[in-house]
Amino acid sequence: MEDSICPLDYRYGRREMKAIFSEKGRIQYQMDVEAALARAHASLGTIPGSDADEICRVASLAVVSVSRIKEIEKDTNHDLMAMVKAMTEKCAGSAGKYVHLGATSNDIVDTAAALQIKAALEIIQSDIDALLLTFAKLAKRERDTLQMGRTHAQFAIPITFGFKIAGYIAELFRHRERLFEMTPRICAGKMAGAVGTGAALGKNFFRIQIDVMMDLGLTYEPAATQVVGRDRYTELICLLANIATSLERYGTEVRNLQRSEIAEVSEPFDSAKQVGSSTMAQKRNPINSENVTGLARVLRGFVIPTFENQVLWHERDLSNSSAERFTIPHVFVILDEMLVKMNKVFGGLEVHSEKMLVNIESAKGLIMAEPVMMRLTEKGVGRQDAHEIVRGASMRAVKDGIDLIQALLDRDDVMAVLSEEELSAVMDPASYVGGAREIVDKMVGNVEEALGKKV
């Protein structure tokens, strides 16, 4: 592919997903719809059963070649009609005259697109399940691993690394639920003719449309124009962009935690072969997380044209067609790539628990200001007064470069209600992670129940 310009052709994307949206894949799905239409006609006696069987036989790339379709398209300048003519040529007997009977192009195009989307969503669901399982294993392993919690990129209070991952599990579960709930709406075809009234299908219109979609495992557009409503595609692309943005969030966290001055995690790195930099031989860069970040930005770029494709003139125009040839395949191929990469990152993530403890200790006790304040209130000090006491001690500790515990021990208003032993116990980071461990257990249990696998 030395003349290719799209990175999906030579750098990104898995074969399974790209096959769905390849030219051959698209044509085969369209012929599958033509075959289902013929079967529906035959079941109602509109066409002979033997002719429907013949149409089903030729509805295959093993019979109808892509090269012949392209040859016809040079004359017709219409890709769908070229396929119909190529199928007709291959039909024996009288079957050819029944190919595409009562349909309009977008009956076939949109229904085939629904089949492609359905197949692609099955891959995305599998990817999500794989990542959930990886997250669950990591969260369970790091359930008790103390880590600095950060807000505004500043030290906050302790968490566990497993708790951080548990939050990712909860978020990804929501995406999984959205995907399941959305799928019947998105995987909808139509067999309703030129403007959606089904006039060319006559008295059998409603039955044919239902039979075709049941045959193909799809829902159908109940009040179509010439096309399936594009609000469906908008919902689809927005969800996939939402998932991509969550993946970018996870990748961004890895990138930040791998920064040299934090150094709490590292992406997997093949130290025997992998090169981090062409000149800085020591480098271990978070390239997969950075790659996911960039791909998410590209993927979200397809949201705007998808919204604009909803606005078609009257019963439809063709302004959406060229855009959708880019948007739908690219979004699916990119998201699949991102999910697989994130699974690789977290599946081999190196967690530097000792560095997490070093970072906690570097705070000199300041991250334990809140539990001290809460213990003071338990001892009868007013909440606002307790806050001011601890704030004052914290400011002094920062100014003088001492540990917070020393600044607190130097205050009479603290020592009047707390002993040194009590204060030391309160300021143990391991004692102040709340329900973090239990949240991890719950999220891991949710994954096990949903996937039917023990972590």
Q: Which amino acids are annotated catalytic?
A: 152, 277
Question: 351 has which bridge partners?
Answer: 265
Instruction: Give the separation between CA 200 and CA 209, rounded to whole angstroms.
Output: 12
Q: Quick one: DSSP state of residue 416?
A: T
> With contact defined as beta carbons under 8 Å apart, do 213 and 114 qualify?
no
State CA 324 to chain mean position distance: 19
Instruction: Give the separation between CA 225 and CA 208, rounded to whole angstroms.
Output: 17
Strands 219-220 and 188-189: parallel
Give the N- to C-terminal CA distance of the chain in Å, as an integer: 42
Q: Which two tokens stand for residue 346?
A: 């977290």
Let me know how many helices (H) and strands (E) the chain has, helices first: 20, 6
* Beta-carbon contacts of residue 378 (< 8 Å; ≥ 6 apart): none
Task: For residue 35, give the nearest of 23, 47, 20, 17 by alpha carbon.
Answer: 47
Secondary structure (DSSP) of 135-173? HHHHHHHTTT-EEEEEETTEEEEEEEHHHHHHHHHHHHH
Q: Quick one: DSSP state of residue 301?
A: T
391-394 long-range contacts (CB < 8 A, ≥24 apart) are 393/369, 394/366, 394/369
State CA 175 to chain mean position distance: 7
